[in-house]
A and B are shown apart, each in its own frame.
Chain A
Amino acid sequence: EVQLVQSGAEVKKPGESLKISCKGSESSFNNYWIGWVRQMPGKGLECMGTIFAGDSDTRYSPSFRGQVTMSADKSLNTAYLQWSSLRAADTGIYFCARQKIYGWGSTGWFDTWGQGTPVIVSS
């Protein structure tokens, strides 16, 4: 059973950069779309975008385009989410999740989730 293991909690100051990771337990990780989902404190789930780990093709949700960068290293079975300049409003828990592929490459539900990476941005 595939597992997604995320990097640990981060405490940063506004203006700092950050890169968090999501590592898949199997090489099949590279055959899936991986989504990044934000959960702000006490709030719901927001999909930031998805990345195909095998070729780093990305799809950003409109609200997050230009705010974050998704990347992947297929040799390490790892996806990344990074910020160049954090803001207090980026505080939250960030989940990665594997997206089901069906049919001729259509993408579906998120069937496997990482444990989440808490990010706190505070001066």
Chain B
Amino acid sequence: DIVMTQSPDSLAVSLGERATINCKSSQSLLDRSKNENSLAWYQQKPGQPPKLLIYWASTRVSGVPARFSGSGSGTDFTLTITSLQAEDVAVYYCHQHYSSSYTFGQGTKLEIK
């Protein structure tokens, strides 16, 4: 199985500041046939199912605010939230679909400082 490791496990950021969440995979997620990285990011708020934010490592889902962005390639990826809003408090997960085990990172809990 591909192991996905997120850092940090939890993060407290002031309103209006930048939040950065990292995700590292145990092997490259680059799909050479598409020249895209098979990496997605989800947001999960308490009592709700996960919500897809970003796919192909950096493509934002329609309707997701522009303050959310994804970057990275190969084995190292980042989710950045610029100008943190109160409604961004949630747990964030990275997810690989390069292999059919479809593993998730352990999650990063984002709170307001």
Contacts and interface: CB of A to CB of B under 8 A. Distances in A.
Contact of A62 (B1, B49, B105): B1
B93 interface: yes
Contact of A47 (B42, B52, B101): B101
B101 A61 contact: yes
Interface string A80-123: 00000000000000010101101100111111011110000000
B102 A100 contact: no
Interface of A: 35, 37, 44-47, 50, 59, 61-62, 95, 97, 99-100, 102-103, 106-111, 113-116
Nearest to A6: B49
A109 B49 contact: no
Interface of B: 1, 31, 33-34, 38, 40, 42, 44, 49-52, 55, 61, 91, 93, 95, 97, 100-107
Contacts of A61: 1, 101-102
Is chain B's interface secondary structure helix, strand, loop, or mixed overall? loop
A29 to B, nearest CB: 17
Nearest to A45: B104
A59 B99 CA distance: 11
A22 to B, nearest CB: 12
A110 B101 contact: no
Contact of A95 (B49, B91, B97, B105): B49
Contacts of A116: 49
A105 B52 CA distance: 20
A107 B100 contact: yes
A95 B50 contact: yes
